[in-house]
C-alpha cells in the first residue's frame, strides 16, 4: 500500500502527463480544431479582445443566449491574461477545465468513498482526455459529434456541468458540517446556484430540478441521511429560478431564446433525438452498451441497494449520485425533446454522457487499490501517447479545408492592413480572433 504522500505525487504526475499529451496532441486534431473555429466556441476570446484591446463596451454586445459569465468567462479570462495567441489561450482553457474537473471529482469522491479519491479523479480526467482526443479523430462521428471533446471547449455548456460538480462538492461539505457551521456553505451554495442559472439557464434543467427530485427519493428511502435537509432541497432550486429570472435585469441586450413548445413540431424533435442516439450507438457501440447498463443500474438502485458493512452515509451518497444522474439525464432529454426551438446535440446532453464514467470510477475506487487505478490510468496514457491520429490532411477533409481557409483569410487581411469589415456570424468571430484583434467586424444575421 503506497503512502499518502507518494500517492498524491503519483496522482499529480499522471495528471500532468495527461495534460502534456493534451497540449501536444490538441493542435494536430483537425476535427477538434474545426469545432474550435466555430463562432460559438470563439465567443469569449472575441469578447475579451474587444473589451480589453479595442476599448469596446459590454453594453454594446449582444451576448450569446447563454452569456456564460461563470465559470467559462472567468476561466477563459485567466488563459487570455497569460497567453497572447488565441490558439494558446484555447489550449490553456482546455487544461484549466480538465484540472477543474479532476479537482471537483476528487472532492465528490472523497465524500463518497473512504479511499482512493485522488486516483479516481485522475483516472476520470485521463479517461475524458483520451475519449475527447481519440474519438474526435473518427470521421464517422460527424453526424453526432463527440460529447467527450466538450471538456476542451468554452461556451458549449460544459461550464454548466462543471458547476454541477462544484455545487455537489459544496452539498457534501455542507452535510458534514456541524449545525452552527452550515450557514457559510449554504450561502456559498445559494450564490453559485444564482450565478449558474444566470450564466446558463440549462443549469436549472440539468441540476436544480433533478437534484431536488433525487433528494426527495432519498428522503423516502433513507430518512436519517445527513444529506437530506429542507435548505438543501429548496435553496438551489429557488436561487436557480431567481438567477434565471434576473437575466432581463442584468443583461443589456437580450438574446435568450424564448421557450417554445409546439405540438406540431414535437414529432420532428423526437425523430431527431431518435436518429441522434441511433447513430451514436452504431458508431460508438462500447460506449452505448456502457451507458445503457449504467442507467439500468441507476434505475434499479431506486428500488434496491445492498447494505454497506462500513459507512452507511457514504454508501447512501453513492446511491444518491446514481439516482441524481438518472433524473438529470431524463430531465435533460425531455427538455431537449419538447422545446421545439432548441436544436439537439451533444452540447445539450453533457450530463447524460459524463456522469456514468464519473460515478462508475468512484464505485470502482471503493473496490480496487490505488495502484490498480494508477495502472489503468497509465495504460490510457500509453494508448493516447502511441496512438497516432488518423487525420486525413488533404483538402478533401472538410475540417482541414476549414482550417486552411481561415489561415488564408487571416494572412490576406494582415497583409492588406484592413481594420474594419462586415461578415456573417459564422465567419466574423474566427477572422476577428485570429487576426489578433486588429480587425473589427460587424456581424450580420445571415449565415
Q: Could you tell me how many helices (H) and strands (E) the chain has, helices first?
A: 19, 2
Measured CA to CA, the distance from residue 118 to residue 77 in angstroms comes to: 27
In 73-142, which ranges are E strands?
none
Neighbours of 106 (CB within 10 A): 21
CA distance 155 to 29: 20
pLDDT in tens, the chain (447 residues): 567 788 888 999 999 999 998 888 776 655 566 666 677 778 888 888 888 887 778 777 778 888 888 899 999 999 999 998 888 888 899 999 999 999 999 999 998 876 789 999 999 999 999 888 865 444 433 444 678 888 988 888 899 999 999 999 999 988 888 777 788 888 999 999 999 999 998 999 999 999 999 988 888 776 666 777 788 888 899 999 999 988 888 887 777 777 766 666 666 667 777 777 777 777 778 888 899 899 999 998 888 776 655 557 788 888 899 999 999 999 988 887 777 666 667 888 899 999 999 999 999 998 888 889 999 999 999 988 886 555 545 554 555 556 667 777 777 777 777 777 787 777 777 777 777 667 777 766 644
Backbone angles phi, psi at 443, to 5 degrees: -75, 135
Q: How far from chain centre, in Å, is Cα 269?
A: 23
Query: Quick check: helix, strand or coil at residue 22?
Result: helix
The upper half-sphere exposure of residue 171, i.e. CA atoms within 13 Å in the direction of its Cβ, equals 29
> What is the pLDDT at residue 262?
65
* Buried/exposed 343-367: b ≥16 CB within 10 Å, e otherwise: ebbbbbbbbbbbbbbbbbbbbbbbe
Please tell me the predicted confidence (pLDDT) of residue 308: 58
Under 8 Å between Cβ of 256 and 336: no
Rounded distance between C-alpha atoms, residue 44 and residue 282, angstroms: 34
Closest CA to 217 of 358, 325, 349: 325
User: Which pLDDT belongs to residue 101?
Assistant: 97
Report pLDDT for 60.
Answer: 76
In this prediction the pTM is 0.88
Amino acid at each position: 500500500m503506497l503512502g499518502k504522500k507518494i500517492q498524491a505525487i503519483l496522482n499529480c504526475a499522471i495528471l500532468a502527463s495527461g495534460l502534456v499529451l493534451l497540449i501536444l496532441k490538441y493542435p494536430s486534431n483537425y476535427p477538434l480544431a474545426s469545432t474550435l473555429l466555430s463562432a460559438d466556441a470563439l465567443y469569449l476570446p472575441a469578447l475579451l479582445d474587444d473589451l480589453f484591446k479595442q476599448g469596446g463596451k459590454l453594453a454594446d454586445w449582444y451576448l450569446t443566449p447563454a452569456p456564460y459569465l461563470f465559470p467559462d468567462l472567468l476561466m477563459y479570462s485567466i488563459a487570455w491574461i497569460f497567453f497572447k495567441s488565441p490558439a494558446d489561450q484555447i489550449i490553456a482553457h482546455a487544461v484549466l477545465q480538465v484540472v477543474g474537473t479532476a479537482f471537483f471529482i476528487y472532492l465528490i469522491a472523497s465524500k463518497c468513498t473512504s479511499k482512493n479519491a485522488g486516483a479516481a479523479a485522475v483516472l476520470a480526467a485521463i479517461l475524458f482526455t483520451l475519449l475527447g482526443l481519440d474519438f474526435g479523430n473518427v470521421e464517422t462521428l460527424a453526424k453526432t459529434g463527440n460529447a467527450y471533446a466538450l471538456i476542451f471547449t468554452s461556451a458549449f455548456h460544459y461550464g454548466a456541468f462543471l458547476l454541477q460538480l462544484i455545487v455537489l462538492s459544496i452539498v457534501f461539505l455542507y452535510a458534514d458540517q456541524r449545525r452552527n457551521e452550515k450557514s457559510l456553505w449554504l450561502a456559498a451554495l445559494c450564490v453559485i446556484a444564482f450565478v449558474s442559472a444566470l450564466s446558463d439557464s440549462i443549469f436549472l434543467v440539468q441540476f436544480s430540478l433533478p437534484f431536488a427530485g433525487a433528494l426527495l427519493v432519498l428522503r423516502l428511502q433513507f430518512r436519517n441521511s445527513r444529506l437530506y435537509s429542507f435548505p438543501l432541497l429548496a435553496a438551489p432550486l429557488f436561487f436557480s429560478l431567481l438567477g434565471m429570472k434576473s437575466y432581463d435585469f442584468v443583461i443589456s441586450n437580450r438574446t435568450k431564446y424564448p421557450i417554445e413548445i409546439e405540438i406540431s413540431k414535437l414529432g420532428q424533435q423526437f425523430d431527431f433525438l431518435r436518429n441522434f442516439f441511433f447513430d451514436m450507438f452504431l458508431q460508438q457501440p462500447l460506449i452505448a452498451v456502457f451507458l445503457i447498463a449504467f442507467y439500468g443500474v441507476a434505475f434499479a438502485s431506486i428500488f434496491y441497494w445492498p447494505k454497506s458493512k462500513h459507512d452507511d452515509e457514504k454508501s447512501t451518497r453513492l446511491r444518491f449520485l446514481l439516482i441524481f444522474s438518472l433524473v438529470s439525464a431524463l430531465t435533460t432529454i425531455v427538455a431537449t425533446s419538447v422545446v421545439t426551438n432548441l436544436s439537439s446535440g451533444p452540447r445539450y446532453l453533457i450530463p447524460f454522457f459524463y456522469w456514468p464514467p464519473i460515478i462508475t470510477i468512484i464505485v470502482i475506487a471503493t473496490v480496487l487499490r490505488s495502484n490498480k487505478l494508477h495502472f489503468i490510468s497509465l495504460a490510457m496514457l500509453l494508448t493516447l501517447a502511441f496512438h497516432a491520429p488518423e487525420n486525413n490532411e488533404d483538402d478533401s477533409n472538410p475540417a482541414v479545408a476549414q482550417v486552411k481557409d481561415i489561415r488564408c483569410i487571416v494572412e490576406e487581411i494582415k497583409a492588406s492592413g484592413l481594420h474594419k469589415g462586415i461578415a456573417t456570424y459564422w465567419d466574423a468571430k474566427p477572422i476577428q480572433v485570429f487576426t489578433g484583434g486588429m480587425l473589427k467586424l460587424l456581424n450580420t444575421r445571415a449565415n
